[in-house]
């Protein structure tokens, strides 16, 4: 099964402006995510414009400009999936630099006939958490269900998952879902790397 990659790289980042360009190891964060999960696959970035020239040079992928600004990740997913060709798409946040390409393959291997989404779940801080921004989607099914949800103004990714035939899969290592939203998150990432 051929899997495309959609990297969400267009959020507001109000708590940590410019976070996608911050160093994550030897690369800017967004470039690290691209290199780890997008290399060798049909890969698109969901964005709101261009990136700096230095970052852009590290991202040989088209950018789909979000048609519905300030509507959250669902808007970026619908806009970008409408332009992609791959039937199955791994969606990942651009601020999740610990997700690896092998994880994409793991989710792909778990797919069963009739599935329209494969979404990781794990335990963190005593709560069960879904990871819809590190998940595998049947692109056509997502567009079928995501577009009407977006148009209603609800705009929640959870509402789309409830409409899809979603398989939830347990993941034992929640570390791979670490994303960077605050200066404290970034300090923790730097210590990890």
CATH numeric code, 3-192: 3.90.550.10
Does the structure show a pLDDT above 90 at 110?
yes
**Residue 97 dihedral angles phi and psi, to the nearest 5°:** -75, 0
pLDDT digits (tens, 9 = 90+) for 13-30: 678 888 899 999 899 999
Name the phi and psi angles at 160, rounded to 5: -70, -45
Around Cβ 163, how many Cβ atoms within 10 Å?
A: 16
Yes or no: say if 126 and 137 are a contact pair by the CB < 8 Å rule: no
Residue 10, C-beta contacts closer than 8 angstroms, at least 6 positions apart: 45, 46, 47, 48, 49, 66, 76
In terms of Cα–Cα distance, which of 131, 34, 138 is closest to 86? 138
On whether the CB atoms of residues 65 and 27 are closer than 8 A, the answer is no
**CA distances (Å), 185 to each of 23, 42, 73, 97, 107, in order?**
13, 29, 20, 12, 26
Angle at CA of residue 119, ends 80 and 21, nearest 5° = 50
Per-residue pLDDT tens over the stretch 35-91: 999 988 999 999 877 788 999 999 999 998 877 665 689 999 999 999 999 999 999
Inter-residue contact 173 to 148 (CB < 8 Å): no
pTM: 0.94
């Amino acid at each position: 099964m051929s899997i495309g990659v959609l990297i969400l790289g267009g959020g507001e980042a109000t708590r940590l402006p410019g976070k996608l360009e911050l160093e994550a190891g030897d690369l800017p964060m967004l470039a690290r995510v691209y290199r780890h999960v997008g290399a060798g696959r049909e890969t698109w970035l969901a964005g709101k414009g261009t990136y700096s020239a230095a970052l852009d040079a590290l991202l040989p992928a088209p950018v789909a400009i979000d048609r519905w600004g300030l509507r959250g990740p669902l808007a970026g997913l619908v806009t970008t999936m409408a332009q992609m060709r791959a039937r199955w798409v791994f969606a990942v946040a651009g601020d999740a630099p610990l997700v690896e390409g092998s994880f994409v393959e793991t989710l792909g291997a778990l797919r069963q006939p009739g599935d329209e989404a494969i979404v990781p779940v794990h335990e963190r801080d005593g709560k069960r958490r879904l990871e819809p921004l590190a998940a595998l989607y049947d692109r056509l099914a997502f567009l079928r269900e995501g577009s009407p949800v977006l148009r209603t103004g609800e705009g929640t990714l959870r509402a789309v998952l409830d409409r899809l035939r979603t398989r939830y899969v347990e993941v034992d290592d929640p570390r791979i879902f670490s994303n960077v939203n605050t200066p404290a998150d970034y300090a923790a990432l730097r210590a990890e790397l």
